[in-house]
Structure 1
Amino acid sequence: MSNEVNIASKIILLRKQRGWSQMELAKNISASREIISRYERNESVPSIDMVVKLADVFGVTVDFLVGKSNSASLDKETVNRINNIQNMDDKTKSVLFDVIDTYIQNFKTKQAFIK
């Protein structure tokens, strides 16, 4: 039941962040307003196909919608970049991770001084 609640609350949150009515969301995924309402009231759970449509229209991952990821910021663009990195050879990945780690450390250092 907890995943159902997560899906319902996430659909509401993402829809409202975009300023969409239930009708607008329904049109964007070729569904009825009534089914969107039922999802949001946690009276019905979206099918896998519908979860994919919702993820696509909101620009988030299926994992985020179903509660397997807590980060909405891990959007599809980020996931695509991660997938591209996974296809790189080990030497290229190592260099890239060194660069990323340097930027992360610099960011954390700056944040520490701000507080």
Structure 2
Amino acid sequence: MYNINEVGKRIKYLRNKKGISQEQLAEETYVSTEMVSRWERGKNSPSIDCLVTLACVLECTLDYLILGDDFINKVYGMYISDDKVDLVKRVVAELIK
């Protein structure tokens, strides 16, 4: 589910990881520095256009930016049974040896 506060945390995390300031992110996304600050604090939600631009600038997928890892893992978990996951883990472990 979409959570404005979590989206803001991911924006801030990715911005810091990339080593850019709020001012730089604002320039690259064509918004004000105040707007970036409001996104990161969960006070405003980026428009879909801004989310697409943010995903490009921050070098992440749009689904990660909007939904985060937990959701993505749940979706993949619905399609891959536990026994198949265990099989893959065993095969990878053998390949690493």
Q: Do both share a fold (TM > 0.5)?
A: yes
1:105 maps to what in 2? 91
Structure 2 partner of 1:57: 57
Q: Distance in 2 between matches of 1:36 and 1:8?
A: 9
Match of 2:80 in 1: none
Equivalent residue, structure 2, for 1:70: 69
> Deviation above 6 Å: which 4+ runs of structure 1?
none
Q: Percent identity?
A: 35
Q: How many Å separate the matches in 2 of 1:59 and 1:22?
A: 16
Secondary structure at 2:7 match in 1: helix
CA distance in 1: counterparts of 2:91 and 2:59, whole angstroms? 28
1:2 offset after TM fit, Å?
A: 5.5
Q: Distance in 2 between matches of 1:18 and 1:66?
A: 18
Q: Distance in 2 between matches of 1:2 and 1:47?
A: 13
Indicate the residue corresponding to 1:5 in structure 2: 5
Kindly report which structure 2 residues correspond to 1:7-22, keeping only aligned pairs within 5 A, or say none: 7-22=7-22
Provide TM-score, normalisation by structure 2: 0.70
Matched ranges for 1:75-90 at <5 A: none
In the aligned structure 1, how far is the partner of 2:91 from the partner of 2:9?
34
RMSD between superposed Cα atoms in Å: 2.5
Query: Structure 2: which 5+ residue stretches go unaligned?
Result: 71-87
Kindly indicate whether the alpha-carbon contact (under 8 Å) linking 2:51 and 2:62 is maintained by their aligned counterparts in 1. yes
CA drift at 1:105: 2.5
CA contact (8 A) 2:38 2:44 kept: yes
More helix by share: 2
Letter in 1 for 2:48: I
TM norm structure 1: 0.60
Q: Which residue pairs with 1:85 in the alignment?
A: none
Q: Which has the higher contact order (CA 8 A, sep 6+)?
A: 2
Whether the 8 Å contact between 2:26 and 2:33 is mirrored in structure 1 is: yes
